[in-house]
Structure 1
Amino acid sequence: MSGVDIDRRQWENAIAGAFAGFATVASLHPLDVVRTRFQVNNGHVTGLPSYKNTGHAIFTIARTEGLRGLYAGFYPAVLGSTMSWALYFFFYGRAKHRYSKGSDEKLSPGYHLIAAAEAGALVCLFTNPIWLIKTRLQLQTPLHHKKPYFGFSDALRTILKEEGWRALYKGIGPSLLLVSHGAIQFTAYEELRKVVARYKSNKGKADHTDEDKILNSIDYAVLGASSKFAAILLTYPYQVIRARVQQRPSSNGVPRYKDSWHVVKETIRFEGIRGFYRGITPNLLKNLPAASITFVVYENTLKLFSLTRRNKKNV
């Protein structure tokens, strides 16, 4: 495979990832708003309504805040997700190619894990400011007495003015730990993909190495949701810690939590282990179908690129 082909494949991975990220956010954002509000609600939070469950939260937000409330932080969510998936698939593709030394041989689970972790760390450094702004916009409600942010650009200017550029990287610690989420998800996806392809090939007497021809959109959807479920169960506490440390400081400029370790201590003290899993229901409701959508769009976009290349060669 030539250098030009490799570069093209990597950019195709990035574009496919961007499409997948946009499709995911656009369809499931309200559940992300609910998840974020549950995550930070430790029973002592002022400025957030009390929700009984996911359904009640969606109904309450729709009734009191309207569509704007359900789609709070939508722009940074779209920007962050599109950028994250594009960069993730790009860096992940480059890492896999580097570890395979340019051959078409399948990598071991260990190399998949390393490649996914490497990609996740790089994406985290690029996108943390976007996720911080998204979190803060999602936590703004009519109960807030502090001057609200009027969109993404106003939030960025206000944070830089009031807190300095370092504030944009609050939560970077748990964010880097969340690299394990993507690493677990992608490793599980790759390994389950091989198992399903081998099973279907044995059943249909087809070549299991040509996975693109064996697997279909239903397979990608199931694989995406299954791998996401495993990653969520193992890494969800990091998401709660990050959301809590990224909250906007009070009107006197004092943050609710000093750092991630402060979040851990306070959560254990007042809520126990259950506190680290607040909001997991809307998180699962959002992210399992989101992962299915992401991988269906991603894999089919890559198939479209591959088909286009073959058609050009045949012309």
Structure 2
Amino acid sequence: MSLSQWQWETATAGAVAGFATVAAMYPLDIVRTRFQVNDGRVTNFPAYKNTAHAIFTITRLEGLKGLYAGFLPAVLGSTVSWGLYFFFYGRAKQRYSKNREEKLSSGHHLASAAEAGALVSLCTNPIWLIKTRLQLQNPLHQSRRYSGIYDALRTILREEGWTALYKGLGPGLLMVSHGAIQFTAYEELRRIMVDYKEKKQKSEGASNLLNSFDYALLGGSSKIAAILITYPFQVIRTRAQVK
């Protein structure tokens, strides 16, 4: 398999993974976004006590569709983001590893992830802004509500100009560190786990050493590390994107 083919297959796998993640966990994303903008002083957002109360209140006041407001741009944004991320990440790794036989260092993984994250942020910020606006619409809103992704895009361009589509880009670029931290942590934890298992059993390749549980543990651990460090940037970006 050529490297170019591998990159496209990896990008496709990333896009599918992004779609599956959004579809399964979207109601919690709605709750997170609304908690991020509610500082107790804004009157056009309901006050939620906790996650369970938020889900119950949204369902009672807005119906099940309230838990999936902005689902289309979320799916589009996640699918495009992960697809582009894996593609750009693979291209960056290829450039750093060109004419090199040794494995990439942690610094190269970090640079590759940061570069990919910045490019993805520039490409997808308008999608995330529309998603945030749709997620925050609720019965207490006094201004005109968007009817969908196209209406939101058209209204924002007409009333606020094209630059409004890049609100929150600053903290979004700072959140590049999220992907960098996650993938660097993943690569390092994977290396440690492979080295540990190689000492316990002899095998020809790393693919024979790690099982599905190991990969799930690696992915979850690296994601938690990235979230803990970069979450404040998410709050700032969400508040910057509020109409």
> Is TM > 0.5 for Structure 1 vs Structure 2?
yes
The one of 239, 245, 270 equivalent to 2:240 is 245
Q: C-alpha displacement at 1:103, in angstroms?
A: 4.8
The letter for the 2-side match of 1:246 is Q
The letter for the 2-side match of 1:61 is I
The one of 217, 226, 229 equivalent to 1:234 is 229
Counterpart of 1:145?
142
The letter for the 1-side match of 2:107 is G
The 4+ residue runs of structure 1 with deviation greater than 4 A are none
Counterpart of 1:27?
24
The one of 144, 154, 157 equivalent to 1:157 is 154
Q: C-alpha displacement at 1:203, in angstroms?
A: 1.7
The one of 207, 222, 232 equivalent to 1:212 is 207
Matched, 1:9 2:2: no
Q: C-alpha displacement at 1:170, in angstroms?
A: 0.3
Contact 1:25/1:81, CA 8 A, preserved across alignment:
yes
**Worse-matched range after superposition: 109-118 or 99-108:** 99-108
Cα 1:179–1:29, aligned 2, differ >3 Å: closer, same or farther?
same
Distance 2:185 2:154 in 1: 40
Contact 1:136/1:247, CA 8 A, preserved across alignment:
yes
Distance 1:175 1:232 in 2: 14
Q: C-alpha displacement at 1:104, in angstroms?
A: 5.7
Question: Which secondary structure does the structure 2 equivalent of 1:45 belong to?
Answer: coil
Question: Which secondary structure does the structure 2 equivalent of 1:11 belong to?
Answer: helix
* Percent of aligned positions that are identical: 70
Distance 1:39 1:49 in 2: 12
Matched, 1:222 2:217: yes
Q: C-alpha displacement at 1:5, in angstroms?
A: 1.0
How does the TM-score come out when normalised to structure 2? 0.97
Q: C-alpha displacement at 1:47, in angstroms?
A: 1.5
Matched, 1:135 2:138: no
- 5+ residue gaps in structure 2? none
Distance 2:61 2:38 in 1: 18
Contact 1:97/1:103, CA 8 A, preserved across alignment:
no
Contact 1:33/1:70, CA 8 A, preserved across alignment:
yes
Number of equivalences: 243
User: What is the RMSD computed on CA atoms of the aligned residues?
Assistant: 1.2
**Worse-matched range after superposition: 54-63 or 179-188:** 54-63
Matched, 1:107 2:89: no
How does the TM-score come out when normalised to structure 1? 0.75
Q: C-alpha displacement at 1:91, in angstroms?
A: 0.3
Matched, 1:120 2:117: yes
Matched, 1:39 2:36: yes
Question: Which secondary structure does the structure 2 equivalent of 1:166 belong to?
Answer: helix
Distance 1:150 1:104 in 2: 54
Counterpart of 1:170?
167
Contact 1:26/1:78, CA 8 A, preserved across alignment:
yes
Question: Which secondary structure does the structure 1 equivalent of 2:2 belong to?
Answer: helix
Distance 1:211 1:122 in 2: 31
